[in-house]
Structure 1
Amino acid sequence: METLSRTQPKLHTETYRGDSFFRDDLLLYVNRVPEGFAAPQHDHDFLEFTYIAEGTGYHYIGNETYAVRRGQLFFLPIGVSHVFRPHSSNTKKQPLIVCNCLVHPSLLERVAGFVSDPDILGYIANLAEGQEQYFTRPDAGETIEQLFQALHREYTLGGEGSHDYLYALFVQLLLSVYRVKQRPPQRAGQTLDAFSAVLDYVDQHLSEELTLSRLSRMSRWSERHLQRLFLRHTEQSFHRYVQFRRMQKSCALLSGTQLTVAAISERVGYRDIGSFLSVFKRTMGMTPGQYRTTR
Structure 2
Amino acid sequence: MKRLFESVNFDRRVIFWDYLIRIENNFKGYYHWHQCCEILFVHEGRGRVVVNRQTYDIRRGMLFFFQPFQLHQVYADVSPATPYCRTIFYVDPLIMDKLLRPFPNRHTLFTSLWQGKDFAQVYDLLHQADIMEWIFTTYNQTFQSGIGEDDEELTFLFFQLMSCLLSKGRGETDLHPMEPLDTRTQRYSEFMMQWIEEHFHEEINLDILAGHMHLSSSYISKLFIQETGSSITDYVTARRIKQACRLLDTTTLSVEQIGENIGYPNSSYFIQVFKKEVGMTPLQFRKQKV
TM-score between the two structures when normalised by the length of structure 1: 0.49
Higher RCO, 1 vs 2 (CA within 8 Å, ≥6 residues apart)? 2
